[in-house]
Structure 1
Amino acid sequence: MSGWAGLLSITARVTLLLLLGSLLFSCSSLSQRVPEFALTKIEERDIKDASGKELVTEDDADPEDLEVFHPTDQWQTLRAGQAVPAGSHVRLNLQTGEREAKLPDTENGQSGTREERRRGRRRLGKVDVDANSFTSEELKKALAKMKASEKAERKAREEEVRKKFRPIEQLKEEFEKLNMKIETDYEIMVKLISKFNSSASTLDEKVAALYDLEYYVHQVDNAKDFLSLGGLQLVIEGLNNSEASLKEHAAFVLGAALSSNPKVQIEAIEGGALQKLLVILATEQPLAVRKKALFALSSMLRHFPYAQQQFLKLGGLQVLRSLFRHQGMELLRVRVVTLLYDLIMEKMLLEDSQHGEQMEEKMQQYQQVRLVPAVVEQGWCALVPNLLAMPEHDTREKVLKLVGVLVAFCREHYRGDSALGTALSLLRSEYEELAAQEQREGDKDGYFRELLGSVNTIIQELR
C-alpha cells in the first residue's frame, strides 16, 4: 500500500513539472512574439484617463476635427484623436500602454518603395491626396465639399453683382411708381416749343425752354425736327422781342441749329434771320445779346456762299466794322477777325482743291462772293493790325493769321504803315525770347515758335 502511494506521488510530481514547463515555454514564446502579434484593436469604451473618466474616442469626435495620422514603415505613437488610414497596422505597446501604428508590411518585409508610394498618390482638384490615406467615402465627401465651396463662391459673386446693378424689371417698377416714362428728343422738343410759345408761360419759363432747346438742336437730326415743328420760325421771331434775355437765348438756339446744317441755313435766311441778326449787332444792345447774335451770324455764313453774298449786299461788313468804334467790344472784335479769316480761307482752300461736278457748282457760287475786295475797300487793312497791341497771345495769333492772308492784298498799305512795322519788330523780339525758352525746356515745336514763324513770314513778305 505504501508502495502504491509513493508511485502515485512521483507520477503527480512529474505531470506537474511537465505542465509548468509547458506553461513557461508558452509564456516565453508569447513574449518573443509580442511585436509581431501585438493587439490591433482595443475596446474604445475601456480607455480611461488616470481619474477614471472615459476619454473622447474617435467614434465620438467630429470627423472634420480628426487629425490624420501619416504612417511610415516604422512604429509611431498615435496621439489622442488622430485618424488612422485604412490598412495600417495598429498595436498596443504593453510596456508603455500607448497605441502605435505603421504601414503594412509587403511580401519582402518592406513598406513599399518610394516609387510605389508615389504611384499611390492622386490629384484631386489642386490638392495632392494619398489614395492609401483615405477611404473612397472620405474622398467623395471631400470632393462634395469642394463643389459646395465653389458653388458658394459663385453665389457670392452673383450677389455682389446684384448689389451693384439693379435689374431692369426693378427699374421699370420704380418708373411706374413715379408715373414716369422715357421720352424721346422729339417729344421733349414738342413740349419745350409749346412752353416757349405759350402766352401763359412766364419770362423765366420761356428762357428756360430756350436754354433746354439749345442743348437738343445741336444734333443735326434734332435741328431738322425743330424746323419741321415750327420752332425755327418762333426763335427768329424771338429776335425782335423787347426782352433782352429772350432775344439773347433765341439767338443762341438759332446759332446752335444753324451749325453745319445746310437745310436749316436755307430756311433761316429765307425766314429773315440774317436781317434781324444784323439789326441786333448794329443797334445798342447788351454785350451778351450781341455776342449770341454774332455767334448765330457766324453759324449762318460759314460754308454757305449764298448767305455770304446776301451779307455783303445788306452791308454786313459795315455793321461788323462799327463794333471797332465802341468801347468794351474787344471780345467781339477778336471774334469778327476770326470770322473774316475763316471765310477768306474757306474760299481759298476750295479754289486750291480738285473740282468735281458738285464742287464746280459750289465754286461758281463762291465766285460771286467778293469778300476780299470789300474788305480792302472798307479799310480793314488798317483796322486789323491795330489789334496786335492787345496783350493776349491768343488774340495776337488770330490777328497775325488774318494779316498774313491780307498781305497779298494790302501790301502797299502795310509797307507804308510805320506803326505796323514797329509792332512786328517788338513781337519778333518777344517771341524770339519765348521760343528760345521753350527750346531750352525741350519743346522744339512750341506755341511761341509758331507765332514767331508767323511774324517772320509777314516781315519777309513786306520787304
Structure 2
Amino acid sequence: MKLAREIVVIFTLLVTINSDGHSLLPVETSKEEDSGTASTQVNVINADQRDTEEFVPTMEWQEIKPGQSIPKGLHVRINFETGLKEAKILVPESDTNEESIGSNAISPPLEEALKRIASSKDAPGLTQDSNPSVNQKQKWRSMKEIKESFTKQNMTISSEMEIVSSLYERLLKETQDNDSMLALDDLEFYVHKYDNAVYFSDLGGVVLLKHLINASSQPDIVAKAALTLGSAMQSNAYVARAAIKAGIMPALLGRLRTAVFNTTLSNRLIFAISSLVRADSEGVNDLAAQGGSKIFRSIIAGDEYGLKSKVKVYTLVDDLLTTESEMTPATRKFLLEDDLVKQMCHQLSRLLPLTPQAAQVDKLISFLEASLSLSLCKEHYEELQPSLSALEVGYGQRMKDPDMGEFYQSIVERIKLCSSQMASKTSTKHEEL
C-alpha cells in the first residue's frame, strides 16, 4: 500500500479477559507524528465502566464515541486530521473488489456480534429513534386509525353513546334479574358523563328506570336503578327536568316508605331524591307535595332505617337551609311549617353520640350550623349541649393523630362555636323570661 500524508494506524481489536473476569478493551491513549510515522500506546479499561451503547459498524469509516463498546474484528484508525478514532468492517487485502465485499468479507466473530446488535435493536421497548417525542407520536394512534385497524380484523369500536343505546335496548328486553343488574352496572358508569346522561334521557331512559323502580320485585334491581337514575341527574338539570316530567318523585318516595331494614336500598333512593332536588328547584316542590317531610321524619326517628340514611337526610336538609335566600314558598313550608327541622334538631341530640365516623359527625354539625344561622331549634338548645360537650372532649383527645389531627381540630372548633352561640341564645331566652 502507498503511504499517504495522513498516516493511518490500522489494527485489529483483540479482546482479552483480566484477572477479575471482566472484558478488557484496547483504548488509544496517545499519538505522535514523527517523520511521517505514527505510534500508538494501548491501555485497557474495565468493560463495566464503558457506555452500554453498541457501535454499529459499516463498510465506511465511522467515529467511535468515547466509551462506546466495539465488536471484535474491526479495522480501527486514528484520523490525524480530525483527531478522532474511527472504525469500519475489516476487509482482507486480497478481497478489495466490490464482489468479494458483498460475499465473504465479514469475519465469523464480527458477523455474530452484528447479529446480537441487530436483535437488541429489535427488542420490545427499544426504538431506533432516540427522540422521546418522536417515539410518543409513533406510539399513539388516532381513533380513526384504530377503527380502521379493527375493521380490517372484522372488529368494531363503539362510541360511548352507542354503548348507552345498546344498554338501553338490553334493559328493554331483559327478563333475567342477573342480566338486568349487569346492564345497570355498565349504564351507571356511563351516565356520570353529562352528554351520555342527556342522550340516555332522550332515548326514554328515565321512564325505563322509573318502571324498574316501580315494578321490580327485587330490592337489588330497585336499588341499582335508583343509583343509576341519581347518577344521571347529578348536576344535570336537563335529566332532572325530564325526571320531574316523568313523575319520578312519587315512585322514589313510595319505595323509600317501604325500604325499612334495607340500608342499601334506602341510601340509594335518598341519593336519587337528593340529586333531583339539588339539580332543579322544582324537585323540592315535588318533594313537599308528595309528603316528603313525613317520610323524612320517620327516617330520622325510626330504628328501621340505618344511620347512613339518617345522615343523608340531614345533609339534604342542610343543603336546602344554606340556600334559604332562594327558597320557594313550597320549600319554606316543607322545611319550616311542617316541623321537619324542629324534629331533626330534637333527634340530633340522640344521634350525635351514636355517630362513630368523623365524616358523618362533620355533616351533622354542618346541619346544626345552618339551623343556628336561621335561629331555628331554639327549644332544643339545652338538650343539645351535653351531646356537644361530650363530642368536644372526645375529638379533642384525638387532635394529635398524625393523619386526621387537623380534621378533628376543625370539628372541635366548630363544636365550640355552636356551643357558644347556643349558650348566648339560651341566656338571652332566660333574660326575656
* TM-score bracket for this pair, using the shorter chain length: 0.5 to 0.7
- Give the superposition deviation at 1:397: 1.9
- Structure 1 residue 234 displacement after superposition: 0.7
- Distance in 1 (CA, whole Å) between partners of 2:179 and 2:36 is 91
| Closer/same/farther in 2, CA of residues 63 and 453 from structure 1, 3 Å limit | closer
Counterpart in the other structure of 1:432: 396
Provide the secondary structure at the position in 1 that maps to 2:214: coil
In structure 1, the partner of 2:412 is: 452
SS in 1 for 2:387: helix
1:334-413 alignment to 2 at 5 Å? 334-345=311-322, 347-348=323-324, 351=325, 363=326, 366=328, 369-370=331-332, 371-374=334-337, 376=339, 379-392=343-356, 393-407=358-372, 408-413=374-379
- Measured at CA, do residues 414 and 138 of structure 1 come closer, stay the same or move farther in structure 2, by a change above 3 Å? closer
* Alignment CA distance shift 1:210-1:126 (3 Å): closer
Counterpart contact for 2:285–2:331, Cα < 8 Å? yes
How many Å separate the matches in 2 of 1:433 and 1:71? 79
Q: Contact 2:297 / 2:343 at 8 angstroms: preserved in 1?
A: no
- The correspondence of residues 80-119 of structure 1 with structure 2, limited to 5 A, is 87-88=36-37
3-state SS of paired residue (1:188) = helix
Structure 2 residue aligned with 1:321? 297
Q: 1:64 to 1:311 in 2, by over 3 A?
A: same
Report how far residue 280 of structure 1 moved. Answer: 0.7
CA separation of 1:306 and 1:404: change in aligned 2, threshold 3 A: same
Shift of 1:265: 0.4
CA distance change for structure 1 residues 248 and 137 in 2, over 3 Å: closer, same or farther?
same
Cα distance between partner residues in 2 of 1:369 and 1:259: 20
How far, CA to CA, are the matches of 1:303 and 1:405 in structure 2? 20
Equivalent-residue separation in structure 2 for 1:250 and 1:442 (angstroms): 37
* Matched AA of 1:274: M
| Structure with greater helix share of residues | 1
Q: Is the Cα–Cα contact under 8 Å of residues 78 and 85 in structure 2 kept in the other structure?
A: no
Larger Rg: 1
Query: Partner residue of 1:301?
Result: 277
Contact 1:255 1:297 in 2 (8 A): yes
- Counterparts of 2:29 and 2:415, CA distance in 1: 91
Aligned length: 331
* Structure 1 equivalent of residue 381 of structure 2: 415
Q: What secondary structure sits across from 1:434 in the alignment?
A: coil
CA distance in 2, matches of 1:317, 1:337: 12
Counterpart-to-counterpart distance in 1, 2:381 and 2:82: 103
Structure 1 unaligned blocks of 5 or more: 1-61, 74-84, 90-100, 103-123, 128-132, 352-362
Counterparts of residues 137-216 of structure 1 (less than 5 Å)? 142=86, 160-161=124-125, 175-176=150-151, 179-198=154-173, 201-216=175-190
- Identify which of 264, 270, 276 aligns with 2:245: 270
* Offset, 1:279: 0.3
Q: Which runs of 5+ in 2 are unaligned?
A: 1-9, 15-25, 41-62, 67-76, 90-112, 128-134, 424-433
Distance across 1 between alignment mates of 2:344 and 2:140: 64
**1:411 deviation in Å?**
4.9
Deviation for aligned residue 1:125? 6.9
Distance (whole Å) between structure 2 residues aligned to residue 388 and residue 224 of structure 1 = 40
State the 1:400 CA deviation: 1.6
The residue type paired with residue 209 of structure 2 is: V
**Matches of 2:231 and 2:415, distance apart in 1:** 35
Q: CA deviation at 1:320?
A: 1.4
- The verdict on how the C-alpha distance between 1:226 and 1:220 changes in structure 2, with shifts beyond 3 A counting, is same
For 1:415 and 1:141, the matched residues in 2 are separated by 91
- The DSSP-based 3-state class of the residue aligned with 2:244 is helix
Structure 2 counterpart of 1:294, one-letter code: I
| Worse overlay, 247-256 or 169-178 | 169-178
The offset of 1:448, in angstroms, is 1.8
1:55 equivalent in structure 2: none
Q: Which amino acid aligns with 1:344?
A: L
Percent identity (aligned):
22
Residues 1:238 and 2:212 aligned together: yes
Asked if the contact 1:414/1:462 (under 8 Å) is kept, the reply is: no
Query: Per-residue CA shift, 1:284-307, capped at 9, x if unaligned?
Result: 453322221111111101142211
Aligned-partner Cα distance in 1 for 2:329–2:408: 36
Local SS of the residue matching 1:142: strand
Amino acid at match of 2:385: G
TM-score between the two structures when normalised by the length of structure 2: 0.64
Q: How big is the shift at 1:167?
A: 8.9
**Native 8 Å contact 1:434 1:448 kept in 2:** yes
Displacement of 1:342: 1.8
For 1:126 and 1:275, locate their aligned partners in 2 and report how far apart those are by CA, in whole Å.
80
Is the contact made by 1:338 and 1:398 (CA closer than 8 Å) also made in structure 2? Answer: yes
Are 1:236 and 1:273, in contact at CA under 8 Å, matched by a contact in 2? yes
1:239 Cα deviation after fit: 0.8
Distance (Å, rounded) in 1 between the aligned partners of 2:155 and 2:32:
76
Q: Is the 8 A contact 2:353 2:391 kept in 1?
A: no
Q: Is the 8 A contact 2:78 2:84 kept in 1?
A: no
Helix, strand or coil for the counterpart of 1:388? helix
Matched-pair contact (CA < 8 Å) for 1:255–1:295 = yes
CA shift, 1:343, in A, is 2.0
Would the alpha carbon gap of residues 86 and 265 (structure 1) be closer, same or farther in structure 2, given more than 3 Å must change?
Answer: farther
Match of 2:86, SS state, is helix
Would the aligned equivalents of 1:385 and 1:403 in 2 still touch at CA under 8 Å?
Answer: no
Q: TM-score, normalised by structure 1?
A: 0.60
Distance 2:419 2:353 in 1: 17
- How far apart, CA to CA, are the structure 1 residues paired with 2:29 and 2:204? 90
Cα distance in 2 for partners of 1:416, 1:195 equals 57
